[in-house]
Each structure stands twice: as structure tokens, then as C-alpha cells.
Amino acid sequence: MEKFKSIIRDYPFIAFIIAFVILAFVPSVVFTDVYQSHLATLIFVNIVVAAGLNIVKGYCGQVTVGHVGLFAVGSYTAGTLFLYLGLGFWATLPIAIIVTAFFGVAMGIPSFRLEGPYLALATLGGGEAIRLFIENGNFFRSTFGISDIPTPSLMGYNFDSPDRYYFISMTIMIIAVYFSFSILRSGVGRAFMSIREDPICAAAAGINVKKYKILAFILSAMFAGAAGAVYAHMPPGYIHPNNYTVIEMVTFLAMVVLGGLGHIWGGIIGAIVITIVYDLTRPLYKYQLLIFGLTIVLTILFMPKGLGGFIDRYFLEKRFKKKTGTEKTT
Amino acid sequence: MILKTKQLSKSFGGLKAINKVDFELPKNEIRGIIGPNGSGKSTFFNLVSGIYDSDPGSYIEFDGHDITFTPPHEIASYGLSRTFQLLRLYQDMTVIDNVMSGYHTRVPYKFFDAVIGRKKIWDQERAIKEEMMELLTFVGLADYAELNASELSGGQRRLLVLARAIAMKPKLLMLDEPAAGLSPVNVDNLMKIIMQLKEKYGLTLIIIEHILKVVMDTCNSVTVFDHGQKIAEGTPAQVKDDNAVIEAYLGKKMDDEEMRKALAV
């Protein structure tokens, strides 16, 4: 066991390969109908977005409410590339990631001068502007949405149903989570956290604050772009501007906050919980926003570090007690 | 000379917070900076570390680099580290992360290696962590490494800030009131640690301090600021008897004749 642990520590991707193999068997073993595969794909898409949002908001502390706009950019880059050039998933995915990265730069520039609620307002405007631009642009098929976006195929095998597309979304999710894990565990993650805590002190400690802020925005935009492209190609391959409203943004925020801002697994835990709750409460759709708003408020009040921080705290206190023989509580 | 300023000035509106200060600091010296509140000591630190831009005509040189218009993160990468009067602790990070974030300028790997997550990165990260744990053990915070910085006591916070500033292995360390708010025992302990760190890392130190005993006991030389100007410089003994210094702190020293006049009216 010790040896296994040290191997995982040196080569963390092995853990991700194991996770991949386990998740690959889930549809055939656990799922009873196609809808569950569809739900799983939605969870994976949300995990990718939330992992990205956790980088910029949880780690770097930049309050962005325009992230759903970046998600829309990813989706509509994929959609329009198919619509006008007939490109398939394997071409649209990387292009969507790159295009969204540029939008991330634009979204990040206000953060040089604005912070806290003011930055939130600026990015909210940015996100809404993107949605309205799409909604009013004939180029993007405005409110008709883009339909029949094809599912990817690989070596003659077409991932054309939810239970097949599951593997595509899962692969992207695992890769994205692995990247976010590596970035945040390294010195880059620490630099992000220092900027969140105190930008002036971070600068005095040798951290290029502007560079790292923009880097955080670019990275999280790339995650959102990837998620957007995966979402666009998901069967039945239909995207509509209404899928990218502030309401979606609130659910993304609820994921990150509930999972734990600045916790390495925060966005992931939150995305799983919130997506499932969202689905179960579909009959109560009138109250869904209320529920998520309350979730955010209550989590911030009673569990400021979210579920992830809560679990961490439990183990930390145990370890501290074992080491020093004293209680340490706050 | 590790640090040199010429005609260093900074005004906020009409107020001249720092007014034409020439300052020179040789290597391996411990320099104390004293002066009444509002005399420009902290502003001087902020100018040197690049947090404020100095007024035109100023010149700052650090270790052979002209840093007059250099942004703070680059100045730090030349080996200048500082602490803040208000600590600016990273409250919501663990103690070990606080110290490791001070290591930033020395992190050996590139960003893309970190994204891919190569084995080399994790080895280097572990080495950094070990080195920083040694530093924490040295200042006596090793047991608290995994706690949040906000959970430390006032004295422990001062030690943590010190450790964070040392983590980058600076050539020059600037301490802004390191002992403010500490009890006398803790002050002695802190000064002992600072002296040991100086020996260990071969530091040059500038210390702003209001506790004169600390300055007189530890510093090789003292600079006195008043109203943004340097009014005296020399060994602690010289400065102690300097009339300008006494005037700035206590008011004018009168001779017998003046005293008699003042009282006779």
C-alpha cells in the first residue's frame, strides 16, 4: 500500500487512468437507462466548467460572473464552425478552446483595475453581452439556435447516442481535471492563492500579479471553451442562447461555492451534487433558482470553505490531535 | 553598496512624504531606521520595494540594478525581500503554503512542465516543501504547518511573516516594525531569531523599529527620519546624542540661558 501511494504521488496521472477505467465500466454496470448516461455527460460538462471557474474564482480570487459567456463562446465556436465549414468535433474542440482563450483575455483585462463586486459587474456585463450578441445575430441563427451538430466519430465508430457520447465527455473531463490538478498543486496554484489573499504582498514576494491574473482567466476560459464544445456536440446536437443565461451562471457559481472555493476538488464535488440536485428538482422548476441562491448563501454562512473544506478540516483536526495531543478548533 | 538612493522623493499631493533622501547601505550591515510617526519610514520602504513609484529625479540602485522604475515583482527577483507593518499574512492559506509562496522567485520549473505534471515537478515541490519545513522548524512553527495562518497567535504571525520573507533567500531583507505589539520576552526571542537568520543566510538588514532598545542593541548603524528627511545617520551611540534627533523626538534641547528666559516670562 505504501509503495502504491508513493507511485501515485510521483505519477498522479496513474490515479486518473484508474479513474478512467472505473468510469468506463459505470454505464454498463450501474446505469439502467440512456437518460442516466445523458445526465452523466451533463455532470462531466459541468465539472469541466466548474474546475475552470475554481481556478479563476476559488484560487485567484477574481469574482467573475461572465463565465457562462465563455461557455457560450466555446459552444458557438463549435456550432458555427460546423454550420459554415462543416467541421467535426475533433477540429472544433481545439479551435473552440483557442478562441475562448482569447475571450478569456478580454474578460480578464478589467481585473487589473477592478476587484470584488465591481469586477463582478463588469464581467456580468461581458457575459450578457456575448449572449445578446449571439441572440441578435443572424450569423449565429439568433433565437432559432443551431441544430443537428454532429456527434464525433473515431475510426468509423460514431458516438451518436448518449451512452456512447458518455465516453467522449468522460475523457475530456478526466484530462481537464488532471490539468487543473497539476496546475493548482504546483507553484502556479500558490501564486494564484497569494494574489487572492493579498496582491500587494504577492507582488513584493516576486509574483507578477497581472501576468498571473490573466493566466488564470485564460486557463479557466480554456476549460469553459472545451466544456462548451463538448456540450454543443452532445446528442441531440442543439444549442440555443437560452442555455447561456445568468441562471446558468448562478448554478455554476453554486457548484464552486458548495464544493469549496479554493479547494482542489471543490468544483468537481459541487458539480456532481448540484447537477444531480438540479435534475431531481426539475418538477419544482419554479423554485430552482431560489434553491441555488439559498445554497450559495447558506454555504457561505455556515461552511465558508464548502464541502471540500469541511471534509479536509475533519481529517486535519484528527491529524493535529494525533501529532500534538491537543485540540485545535476555531 | 547593496542599496543606494539619490535624491529620492515622493509627494502625495502637496505633502512631501520623502524629500531628497540620499541613502547608502553597505553589504552585511544591520541598519536601523527610526523616526516619529509619519516621518516617512514606511514610505521609504514602499519606494525601495517598488510598491510606490518615486517622483521624477529620484534614483534607486539595488545590487547593481537601477530599480527606480522597476515593478515590485522584478525587484523581488533581484533579491530584495520585505515585510509589512500590517503583516499582510495570507490568512486563508495554510502556514506551509504561506512560506512556500515566498519561494516563488526560486521555483525552478516552467509553467508547461507543471501543466503536464511531470515527475520532476513533484520531486522539486517535495524538496521545496522539505526546505521550507526546515525553515518553519527554525522559527518554531513546524507543528502548525497545516493550520490556516489565521489561526496563529500574534507572535506566531510575526514569525511566519519573517519566515515567508526569508523563503526567497534575499540579499537584502527589509523589516517594517518586526516587533510591534510583542511582549518584551517575545521581542528578545524574535531578535535572537533574526540575528541567527542573518548569520545563516548572510543577509543585509534594514529594520524599522520603535522599540529603541532593539535598535540600539542590534543595529550597526542608524538612520533617523523626520518629516520625510534624513536628519541623522551614524552608530547608535552617535545618533543617541545627536541634537536633531532629540529635537525630533522630545522637542528642542535648551541651554540654561534659554530655559531661564522661557520660565521667567
pLDDT of residue A143: 86
Q: Enumerate the residues of chain B whose CB falls inside 8 A of the CB of residue A300.
A: none
Mention every residue, 6+ apart, whose C-beta is less than 8 A from residue B4.
Answer: B23, B24, B25, B60, B61, B62
Nearest one of A17, A23, A18 to A163, comparing CA atoms: A23
Residue B5 lies in a domain: no
Report whether A198 contacts B88 (CB < 8 A): yes
Give how far A127 is from chain B: nearest CA, Å: 27
Backbone angles phi, psi at A150, to 5 degrees: -70, 150
Give residue A312's pLDDT. Answer: 86
Across B75-93, average pLDDT: 94
Q: Return the H-helix or E-strand segment holding B33.
A: strand B30-34
| Cα A153 → chain centroid | 25
What is the percent of chain B with per-residue pLDDT over 70, rounded to a whole number?
Answer: 99
Residue in chain A lying closest to B52 (CA): A200
Residue recorded with cell 445568468: A246
Mean pLDDT for the stretch of residues B21-35 = 94
Q: Pick the residue with more confidence: A229 or B252?
A: A229
Q: With 60 as the cut, is the pLDDT of residue A330 above it?
A: no
Residue B117 placed within a domain: yes
**Chain B residues within 8 A (CB-CB) of chain A?**
49-51, 71-73, 76-77, 81-82, 84, 88-93, 97, 100-105, 107, 109, 111, 114-117, 119, 121-123, 125, 143, 146-148, 150-151, 164, 168
Q: How many A-B residue pairs are in contact by the CB < 8 A criterion?
A: 116
Residues sharing a CB contact under 8 Å with residue B188, sequence separation 6 or more, in sequence order: none
What residues of chain B lie within 8 A of the CB of A200, using their CB?
A: 51, 84, 88
Domain assignment present for B119? yes
Using CB atoms, pick whichever of B121, B125, B143 lies closest to residue A324.
B143
Total domains present in chain B: 1
Residues B41 and B8: their CA atoms lie apart, in Å, by 13
Residue B197: inside a domain: no
Residue B28 belongs to some domain of the structure: no
How far off is chain B from A65, nearest CA to CA, in Å?
Answer: 22
Interchain CB distance below 8 Å, B90 and A197: yes
**Shortest alpha-carbon distance between residue A114 and chain B (Å):** 18
Instruction: State the first-to-last Cα distance of chain B, in angstroms, to the nearest integer.
Output: 52
B203 within domain boundaries: no
Model pLDDT for residues B161-212, shown as the tens digit of each residue: 999 999 999 999 999 999 888 898 989 999 999 999 999 999 999 999 988 8
Range of the domain at B137: 89-168
Most confident residue range from A1-10, A155-164, A187-196, B236-245: A187-196
How close is the nearest chain B Cα to the Cα of A189, in Å? Answer: 9
A216 confidence band (pLDDT: 50, 70, 90): very high
pLDDT in tens, B226-264: 999 999 999 998 988 888 888 887 777 677 787 777 777
Tell me the three cell numbers of residue B180.
Answer: 510591534
From B44-58, B91-105, B115-129, the region with the lowest mean pLDDT: B115-129
**Which residues in chain B are closer than 8 Å to A9, comparing Cβ atoms?**
122
Q: Is residue B6 part of a domain?
A: no
Chain-chain contact of B114 with A197 (C-beta, under 8 angstroms): no
DSSP B106: G
A178 touches chain B (CB under 8 A): yes
What is the ipTM score, two decimals?
A: 0.91
Which candidate from B107, B115, B143 shows the least CB-CB separation from A187? B107
The Cβ-side half-sphere exposure at B150, using a 13 Å CA radius, reads 7
B129 vs chain A: nearest CA distance in angstroms? 11
